[in-house]
């Protein structure tokens, strides 16, 4: 006895997404495996050899501390200075290659004011500049 099902003779209205999911998972695995290989550190590059340079001893450096208070006023080595005075002092000190300027700015000082001090230091010839911060937990 052969039974004929009239509902099977029509078009199938459901989409089977299982093959699509399988393909997407394979692509995801391929990208996860190949992504670390694309970083510059993993590429084989022949870097030129140079002589080792001794690290600069912190005691040999000649630091000056520029403190910027919450109002934007500057104190260079605990002495209040104007922008023009700061420029003149930094021009004299920047001649020494071991000179480093450390900026310690209040966190409420606008970035624009700190950028002005950075520009003054750059125009004065300061090549080494660092920021003093407190490490938080």
User: Residue 77: inside a domain, yes or no?
Assistant: yes
Q: Is residue 115 part of a domain?
A: yes
User: What are the tens digits of pLDDT across the range 117-132?
Assistant: 999 999 999 888 888 7
Could you tell me how far CA 103 lies from the centroid of its own chain?
18
Between these two residues, 27 and 36, which has the higher pLDDT value?
A: 27
CATH number at residue 110: 3.30.420.270
- Measured in degrees and rounded to the nearest 5, phi and psi for residue 109 equal -70, 130
Directed axis angle between helix 83-93 and helix 111-124, to 10°? 40
Domain hosting 89: range is 62-131
Residue 90 placed within a domain: yes
Residue 25 has pLDDT above 90, yes or no: yes
Q: What DSSP designation does 48 have?
A: P
pTM over 0.85, yes/no? no
Number of structural domains found in the chain: 1
Q: Band of the pLDDT at 4, cuts 50, 70, 90?
A: low
């Amino acid at each position: 006895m052969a039974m004929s099902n009239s509902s099977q003779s029509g078009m199938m209205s459901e989409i089977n997404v299982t093959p699509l999911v399988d393909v997407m998972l394979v692509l995801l695995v391929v990208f996860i495996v190949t992504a670390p290989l694309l970083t510059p550190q993993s590429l084989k590059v022949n870097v030129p050899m140079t002589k080792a340079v001794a690290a600069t001893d912190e005691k040999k450096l000649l630091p000056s501390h520029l403190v910027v208070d919450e109002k934007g006023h500057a104190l260079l080595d605990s002495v209040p200075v104007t922008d023009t005075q700061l420029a003149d002092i930094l021009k004299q000190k920047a001649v020494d290659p071991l000179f480093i300027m450390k900026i310690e700015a209040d966190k409420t000082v606008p970035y624009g004011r700190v950028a002005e001090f950075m520009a003054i230091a750059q125009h004065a010839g300061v090549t080494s500049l660092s920021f003093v911060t407190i490490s938080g937990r």
